[in-house]
Amino acid sequence: MRSWLPSSRSKGALEALLYLLGLTFRGFAFVHLGFAALALVLGEEAWGFLGAAALGFALGYLGTFRGRPKAQPQRAEVFAGVALLWLLVPVLGAVPYWISGGLAFLDALFESMSGYTATGATVLQDFSLSRSLFLYRGFTQWMGGIGIVVLFLAVFPQLHVAGRQAFFAESTGVEKERLTPRIRQTAQAVLLLYLALTGAAALGYALAGVPLFEAVANALATVPAGGFSPNPQSFAGYPPLAQWLGVAFMFLAGVNFLLQYRLFFRGEVGPLLRDAEFRAYVLVVLAAGLALSGYLYTHHTYDLEASLRHAFFQVISILTGTGFASVDFAQWVVPAQAILVLLMFVGGSAGSAAGGIKLVRWLVLFGFLRREITRTLHPQAVLPLRLGGRVLSEEVLRQVSVFILLYTLLFVLGAVALAFLEKDFVVAFTASAQAIGNIGPGLGEVGPMGSYAGLHPLSKLLLVGLMWAGRIEVVPVVLLLTPELWRRLR
């Protein structure tokens, strides 16, 4: 007879998940308290932040009371916990927009999910939020860009085994790299670099002529490759120098953070230059940027400097998933738009803030295709799959193939569903691509100077789901839909 009591293994998994979720909610409660204090100092309404803080403390203490920090869940349970974390935190984060921002709850959830997933798609039309809400909006992207688990692991040592497992579940890429043997020290190194880049971006923007408040808000959204700007014209409302600085910092947002740490804090240039993914990243940026700028210049759209600036700005913005705009590229001719749409499916480097499929996965896939073509010509040849001089296992190839298949399937299903709801294929195609790639702007109604406010409520809900799935890299979503997982947790 099957016992109704949970096994020690499933109980341990559940306790670990509860503790992780509880600690996260408590941490975000303090964040909301901080913004409540800022709102009061600025003479603005703070009830939304206070409400989110109260809810966060209640859920946080419930989770930590019922959970155990030293519990040791299995890999599947950790993936499910990270997926739930990335779903529930934006729900909590929607409360300030709903209470103080005057948004309907679905719009507030859309804005919050877009923030925490560093997507940058917005339902705002008149940009009439308070200054505290605009800073909060950018800060959600800042936290989402580095990763909630990475941020909390760097601050809270009590996460123990569950925290270390969650670090790898949340991190992106084919091969997970550690800077030090201790995961917490690695998380702290990433956080240190992240803070330094944010401060440098804010200072640079301010010196380039961007108002100080907007410089800080834009820096909070640049380094995480987020794209939320307090200016309704995005970077089109700023001087050319600020746009060139945006190009530089968005480029860095798409480079592996651990490699950047070694470069900037240890002076190690070699690891970066030897990295196959970084070389591919530079090549894609140069090829797409020069092709687009050449097209814009030869078609007399802009002068040479403006062609280079807008081309590289938009190429890097879309490639990394930042989503800022230096110009309304929805008004460009179709061939120029096609280059940007293609980049939506490329992505930046693994281990960076960039969204999308990631270049390293494309390198693995192209290596596999090249190997299979060679094997067709030489059936008896032994052909190991290599990346950057290292031999990759067949398990890596399987993981990459499954990810790209699931990613493509979700994108197609999302685009078809949006086409039925919106009756506009361009909007449906680009909205689905940007949502699962965590990019931000699409084309047509949802272009860089447009808004998602006018979409059907079901379209907004679908895009919320796609943004969530894209940020946690699809597989944990499938796990949550697997009955076996819930039987193991029961």
In terms of Cα–Cα distance, which of 252, 246, 355 is closest to 310?
Answer: 246
CA dihedral 230, 234, 238, 242 (to 10 degrees): 100
Mean pLDDT value of segment 376-392: 80
Q: Which two tokens stand for residue 105?
A: 């709850």
Cα angle for residues 172, 176, 177 (degrees, 5° grid): 125
Establish whether 226 is an annotated binding residue: yes
Can you give the pLDDT at residue 3?
A: 38
In terms of Cβ atoms closer than 10 Å to its own Cβ (0-12, 13-18, 19+), residue 263 is middle
Mean pLDDT value of segment 223-237: 94
Read off the pLDDT of residues 119-168 as tens digits, 9 standing for 90 and up: 999 999 988 899 999 999 999 999 888 876 565 555 444 444 444 444 44
Which has more pLDDT, 80 or 75? 80
Cα angle for residues 405, 410, 415 (degrees, 5° grid): 125
Establish whether 438 is an annotated binding residue: yes
Establish whether 43 is an annotated binding residue: no
Which of 119-123, 137-141, 223-227, 366-370 bottoms out in mean pLDDT, i.e. has the lowest? 366-370
The region that residue 157 occupies, defined by phi over 0 for left and psi between -120 and 50 for alpha, beta otherwise, is alpha
Read off the pLDDT of residues 234-249 as tens digits, 9 standing for 90 and up: 999 999 999 999 999 9
Q: How far is CA 307 from CA 235, 237, 327, 331, 445, in A?
A: 15, 17, 11, 15, 24
Task: State what percent of residues in the chain have pLDDT above 90.
Answer: 62
Task: State what percent of residues in the chain have pLDDT above 70.
Answer: 85
Read off the pLDDT of residues 430-484 as tens digits, 9 standing for 90 and up: 999 999 999 999 999 999 999 999 999 999 999 999 999 998 888 778 777 777 6
Can you give the pLDDT at residue 11?
A: 52
Establish whether 93 is an annotated binding residue: no
For the chain, give the number of residues. Answer: 490
| pTM, two decimal places | 0.90
Which of 11-20, 165-174, 421-430, 459-468 bottoms out in mean pLDDT, i.e. has the lowest? 165-174
